[in-house]
Copies of this chain bind each other. A is one copy, B any other.
Amino acid sequence: MATIEDVARAAGVSSSTVSYVLSQKRSISAPTRRRVEQAIADLGYRPHMGARALASRRTHVIGLMAPLRSGVDVSVIMQFVTGVVTRARDFEHDVLLLTQDDVTGVERVAAGSMVDAIVVMDVEADDERIPLLGTVKQPAVLIGLPRDAGGLSCVDLDFEATGRLAARHLAQTGHRDVVLIGSPPEVMARHTSYADRVFRGFTAECAQSSLTGVVQACGSTPDAARSAVDAVLDQAPDTTGFVVHNERALPHVLAHLRERGRDVGRDTAVVAVCPHDIALSQHVPMTSIDIPGEVIGAVAVEMAMARLENARPSETRLLAPVLTERGSSAQGPGTPG
């Protein structure tokens, strides 16, 4: 492997000149730049990132803590990860992957100066990692909205507005008895931030729009979905509007609604809160509020970079939900036609 000294020698300049050609941190005459670039090309030179990190205190790597096995839907996770990795590359950074259950991971990579910043996915309302993240020297960005961010930056879909928007859509299309089919009971119990927030927005809007709204936790298996739908329909048979915020249960909920004689898109409306592709790959294309995983991941990286470069204060960004009407929502009993 050629070193910066090799390049300098080949170009007949000093190594600092090569360094400055690379970093653009001072002006270089055109001819010198040419010769250096030629030498770099000739030798196939690549800076040694460890040496660079040591000297510059910048690793050009960001840490990403992802929930690799949790009950959270995998395709959503992948979208976040994709967004983070892609945007990181735009900033000439690579991504070091940490798993949620590697508790010492944050400490290790931060104290070991392996990363310039840390992005944390799947943050819960009272996430135990927040105090720790506050102590490390690298800026951290949380994907999610904890009760107390402890001075860290946060980014997420505005799930409360999402819950409200979904309920309002059902209200506006004439439904009066509605339900929110939510996350698995264990996720609900864990007070995962997004589940709580959808819940809050949904119930608030129900109150405001005089809807009869109930909330039903729901596991991800076919049986769990069946039970959830049964529970709702048995206790509130007049329910015509459904909000489903559970990607994995969604197909089973739809299937069981059909089994129970409901015609989704005609006598029953279903609004899904899930990624685009999932909304589109159901039997009936779903009216849905997108969870824009890639965008959120990308924004997280942008926020981390901004903090690195400008030493800007931390901030919280909540992305406004967008509802896209497709086949699955229908006029409810409350309106003509």
Choose among B50, B109, B111 the residue that contacts A113 (Cβ–Cβ < 8 A).
Answer: B50
Q: Which of A5-13, A96-104, A147-155, A165-173 lines the interface with chain B?
A: A96-104
Q: Decide if A108 is an interface residue (CB 8 Å cutoff).
A: yes
Q: Which of B48, B82, B99 contacts A69 (CB 8 A)?
A: B82
Is A220 among interface residues, defined by CB-CB distance under 8 A?
yes
CB–CB B97/A81 < 8 A = yes
The interface bits of chain A over 85-129 (1 if a CB of B lies within 8 angstroms of the residue's CB, else 0) are 110010000111111001000011101111000000000000000
For A51, what are the chain B residues with a Cβ–Cβ distance below 8 Å? 50, 54
Stoichiometry, copies per complex: 2
Q: Are B69 and A59 in contact (CB under 8 A)?
A: no
Number of interface residues of A (CB under 8 A): 48
Partner of A46 from B69, B74, B108 at Cβ < 8 Å: B108
Give Cα distance in the complex from A95 to B68, angstroms: 13
Digit string of A195-212 for contact with B (CB within 8 Å is 1, else 0)? 000000000000000000
Contacting residues, chain B, for A185 (C-beta < 8 A): none
B-contacting residues of A (Cβ < 8 Å)?
A: 1, 44, 46-54, 59, 61, 64, 68-69, 74-75, 77-78, 81-82, 85-86, 89, 94-99, 102, 107-109, 111-114, 137, 220-222, 251, 255, 281-283
